[in-house]
Structure 1
Amino acid sequence: MTINFNDPLARILDDTSHNRRYDIWRWFQLTANKIPLPGEINHPGMRSTLKHVISITPGLSEIIKHRQAEQLLPENYFEWINEGNRQVEWLNSKLIPRITQSGFMPPMTGGLFGKDLLIASIDLWSINLKQKVSLLSELEISWNEHKKGDKQFKWFSDEEQKCILAGELINKYIPLDGLLSIKLSTYLPIENHENLLTFFDHANLDHNQIALFLEKVKARWRTQKYRKNLTGKGQYNFILSDKAIARLDRLSDTYELSRAKILDILLKMESEQNRYLPERIKLLKDES
């Protein structure tokens, strides 16, 4: 976020925008030039430290301003990176290999994480601004295309227990070994919908493999639900006369209830009111 600011560092660099992203970039510019800096990047006094070091080093402010104009894109180019950790993880997985293949090493520091680290890697990569614009445009298109695959996982979005079940079945139905297993262990356990999407973002499976696994999870879910619904119920086999079946079917059609539900209601009412069976049993005894 950029805010108007007029502290000593802003005046030194002729930059009244207090932008943490720019300060992160400036910190790395100084460390890359072997200028010792007390504390760690992102610490509360970082801006004060930058001001002190730049102000006591002749010519450094002009160098910083020149490089800033060469390397830093305006904020609006990054506005689409606003969908949380999953998006950042995916973008990093696409960006870092390209950066390292060019011979540039992304910043490695314990004080920078997530979106800050992603954007710092782009800012510090020594390619020209047109290339950075093209790169970000390509990544945005790829991300939007990738998200279309989320439709496969919509069934899981309404209940976290479905996602947890998927996580429990991964080792059974998706063979993971070697480096892939180590890599994917970072995204386990799966506890919610975003966890599930993030795991499969990096699982290197094709559409059909994912679809097959998800169907197995859905089948297990249906089985568990069915067994849960059977709690307190038993199955019995007995013979009914054709007339009794016809009566049962008529009642079932009339009230739009299952045969089992009609029988359950009749048995419950007779048990509570005891209105018909005693009389009917008496008649049967008299007839015999």
Structure 2
Amino acid sequence: MWYFLADKGLANYNTSVIDNSELSNWIINSLHAKSVNLEWLRGQQLEFILSSDHISWITEDRRLNHWLSKQLCEKMGIIFFKHPELTWRESAIALLDRWTSSTKILATNKLKFEWEELKKLDKKLDWMKGPDGQEKLQTAWAWIVKNRPYNTTLKSTPTSIPALIEFFDDTFLHNADREICIAAIRKRWSQHAYRKKQENKKQYNFILTDSAVKRLDSFCKKYDLSRAHILEILLQAEQERNGQSIEEKIKIYKGAEL
């Protein structure tokens, strides 16, 4: 009611000051001073103020209320300001009450659905957990700085997954944008991890007989490994045997040539 009267130009008080002990008196004085039709006021309340059933999903969760406030301000075309006398939940519900949407119930249900989907998106960052988590966060930030530089002004590299999620909350209004960003970051990490694995590897070309290729491929199929892995294992195994098998095979090979 406090904000509603102010939005309609019917407030006879300073809207930047909230004194709970005088709130009711100020509202009543405004109704009299502005000769507000009470029937009209009740109609407005019925049309725009939702019942507790429709807002029960709005808990005291600060993240939820901050996200909801940003969403509502974007829809209303106003700048978000949380009054220090209000809790985060009270501030979000006050914005919801002020929002004059002709389909408010449907729109509020849609916001609830989007919030639930947003929480699911958090799980798409679980791959960043583990001993290499900090390296993954640095890779994520490097991608963001390169591809979304306008979002990183005066921002520092997130040092935890919750910090990265908070950055996403502040940056992206829509879940689709966030999902695209997360997918791109994971792809970048996969490329980074692959290149890192290849650092001590070089590519070589060999000419093998058809029979040798068949034997090599049979090992690959049996152990579900690549040709390179099989060759590396065979060389390591032979090295551990001090080359005995190779010496025996060379004697046989050279004997066959005589």
- Give the aligned partner of residue 219 of structure 1: 187
- Whole-Å Cα distance in 2 between the matches of residues 211 and 107 of structure 1? 28
- Whole-Å Cα distance in 1 between the matches of residues 212 and 52 of structure 2? 77
- Correspondence list, 1:186-225, <5 A: 189=158, 191-192=160-161, 195-196=164-165, 199=168, 202-203=171-172, 207=176, 213-225=181-193
- Whole-Å Cα distance in 2 between the matches of residues 33 and 258 of structure 1? 71
- In structure 2, relative to structure 1, the CA distance for the partners of 1:196 and 1:167 (3 Å cut) is farther
Between the two proteins, the alignment pairs up a number of residues equal to: 221
Q: How far off its partner does 1:228 sit?
A: 2.9
- Whole-Å Cα distance in 2 between the matches of residues 272 and 33 of structure 1? 83
The answer to whether the aligner puts 1:173 opposite 2:147 as a matched pair is: yes
Q: How far off its partner does 1:93 sit?
A: 0.9
Check the 8 A contact 1:77/1:136 in 2, yes or no. yes
The answer to whether the aligner puts 1:117 opposite 2:88 as a matched pair is: yes
Q: Partner of 1:80: helix, strand, or coil?
A: coil
Give 2:216's aligned amino acid. L
Q: How far off its partner does 1:285 sit?
A: 4.7
Aligned residues with identical type, % of pairs: 27
- Give the aligned partner of residue 142 of structure 1: 111
- Give the aligned partner of residue 93 of structure 1: 70
Q: How far off its partner does 1:261 sit?
A: 2.4
Taking structure 2 as the reference length, what is the TM-score of the superposition?
0.57
- Give the aligned partner of residue 244 of structure 1: 212
Deviations 1:51-73 (A, max 9, x none): xxx7xxxxx79959x99xx9999
Q: How far off its partner does 1:172 sit?
A: 0.9
- Whole-Å Cα distance in 2 between the matches of residues 213 and 150 of structure 1? 16
Q: How far off its partner does 1:268 sit?
A: 2.0
- In structure 2, relative to structure 1, the CA distance for the partners of 1:99 and 1:261 (3 Å cut) is closer
Check the 8 A contact 1:169/1:217 in 2, yes or no. yes
- Give the aligned partner of residue 157 of structure 1: 126
Structure 1, unmatched stretches of 5+, are 1-30, 38-49, 55-59
- Correspondence list, 1:1-288, <5 A: 79-82=56-59, 84-96=61-73, 108-109=83-84, 116-120=87-91, 122=93, 138-145=107-114, 147-148=116-117, 154-160=123-129, 161=133, 162=136, 164-176=138-150, 189=158, 191-192=160-161, 195-196=164-165, 199=168, 202-203=171-172, 207=176, 213-274=181-242, 275-286=244-255, 287-288=257-258
- Whole-Å Cα distance in 1 between the matches of residues 15 and 251 of structure 2? 106
The worse-fitting range, judged by mean Cα deviation, of 275-284 and 192-201 is 192-201
Deviations 1:5-49 (A, max 9, x none): xxxxxxxxxxxxxxxxxxxxxxxxxx97999x9xxxxxxxxxxxx
C-alpha RMSD over aligned residues: 5.1
- In structure 2, relative to structure 1, the CA distance for the partners of 1:258 and 1:211 (3 Å cut) is same
